[in-house]
Structure 1
Amino acid sequence: MPLNHQFLLDNRPEGAATADNFRLVAVDTPALQDGQVLVRHHYLSLDPYMRGRMNDAKSYAACQPLGEVMQGGTVGEVMESRHPGYAAGDKVVGMGGWQEWSVVDAGVPGSLRKVDTSVVPLSYYLGAVGMPGVTAWYGLTQIIDPKPGQTLVVSAATGAVGSAFVALAKARGCRVVGIAGGPEKCAYATDELGFDACIDHRQNGDLKSMAQALKAACPDGIDGHFENVGGYILDAVLLRANAFARVALCGMIAGYDGQPLPLANPALMLINRMRVEGFIVSEHMQLWPQALAELSQLVAAGKLRPRESVAQGLAAAPEAFLGMLKGRNFGKQLVKLI
């Protein structure tokens, strides 16, 4: 069995995460038992939620245990199988974590899923046709529930979730405004992803400036908002929200280092009779097949072609992860392992 390189969470961050929070080790891969498969990971997914789980704090999921492999999504190939449902050569998606190989109990529901790479590239199953894409689909369809012609806003617009969100929203006849960091990302949002407008949060770095930018980009107000960031961006959206606007709370990356995120005008949620709902996409697995089918169709039709930032080799994972948290990635952040 192969030697397996892994990144463990060695210690918890105090404030911003650093590369010293992780430890690289090499271990022997155990022999397969009945019902298990050996997967060689091709790509590892890096996602903002991982930062929150590094903290030892109350959250929607158990925190990342110290001394164990960093959790995360992976896609790869079955190299050996002792489970009747899988054969060597099958392409699969799972939660293999920050390591090169994984031994998976394939009979455990949700542990592994075979994927078709004839139309959808393997890496897309970690982004556009994976958890981020389904996240965008759920927030849009189950919480925002837009009508044609309505104006929607999404923060972190050029990331894996935002790029899927705009494709899904445009398919429903909505006007979509993104918020992204830097002129290059904003140009990509409008020129390639199909956003009707994009606001540069680096040029609008406070509540007053962002609210003015949203007023200009959304002259008819905001009917729905998909929030990935929080902080002053959410405050600015509340100032521009229409009556009965809906907000899907997906992420609060602005607060992942531990600082509080107070709202400046929470009374606006009452005044506008808004629906503000947080959600965790893994709690709605019964809807994943419906979401994945639509996302796959958008990819096949060329209407969803997100950009990927790809770091090379497992050793690059910590710095790629830290860079993603600071917005240095362009699109879905991946680590290519093979």
Structure 2
Amino acid sequence: MSEGRLVLLNPGPVNVHEKVRAAIAAPDLCHREPEAADLMAAVSTKVTEVCGAGGDHRSVLLTGSGTAALEATIASVVPPNGRLLVLDNGHYGERLHRIAAAHGLPSQRLEFGWATPIDLEMVAAALLADPSITHVGLVHHETSTGMLNPLRAVGDLVAGHGRTLIVDAISSLGSEQLDMAADHIGWCIGTANKCLEGLPGISFVCAPRAGFASLADLPTRGLYLDLHTHYRAQVQAQTFAFTPALGVLHAFDVALDLMLAEGVASRGRRYAELAQLIRDGLTQRGVQLLLPPEHRANSLTNAHLANGMTYQELHDGLRRRGYVIYATQDRAAGVFRLANMGQLTEADIAGLFVAFDEVTTERR
């Protein structure tokens, strides 16, 4: 580990490439100048490519966390006579429901239980029972548990029932397989600072151009987070609706170049190899993992605390040695998270377990 460097094992923000970090120091620029419009167009095009989308799709950028893009999408795309079906098997599925409730949107929460796989038969039954459902919300990688939900199967099912799929791909895009057309995704939401290895502050929504255009006929439920406002400005007028975080956008542009050069499949393999090192190291130390192998994403491992150690004791001991781990939400008490997103190496993982053993020994 480099002197003074923290190894971030939390699921975003992540350790970024030096080129990404340097890019945030780009020269000062007015967001109404042509250079800013060129940067916006370049980033949008690259995001669309990472989403596996074609020329009939567009991506709209927002200055804000991934939750900002989620809220913009849900509040903007569900029509007054529509209804959102939320597939909830973790904290972030629950968040989709909370966003809908905050805007007074009709919604149904199909709750499976944390760390419980989505039951496709239950989804099909819900769609058959309620023809007013127009949209289905799915979290691809549910980081509260580390579960990778079955995007392709859900997409096929939703499309087969003539509904539109909204996908929270915030923690999966850039690492897990995702294809807008093949997965029947109507609206794909992502962020810069997880598997795309950018810095926090930029999120985005990718959708068919026709989908964005159709928002013109729907009521506006907000100002800053009105998706059609951003679409009109960015795609039609080729400018920003509001002042963006240009420095972060410069850094994201560089991160996307690195992403496209590596390729989603290659990055996924790199992450999977690091995840396996983490899982092997934990298992060798008698630490029980939360999920069986078939449900795990390749960028995050959730594990049970062992030997009577509290999360705070483990976190603080590792933090003193330069490693940052992550807690879970209250409903997953007794579990901690180790993410392997970002610019991590095998040496980082080896160093983590040296530190882990020291903390464990200290407590005895």
TM-score with structure 1 setting the length? 0.33
Instruction: Return the structure number with greater relative CO, CA threshold 8 A, min gap 6.
Output: 2
Structure with a larger share of its residues in strand: 1
Greater helix proportion = 2
TM-score by length of 2: 0.31
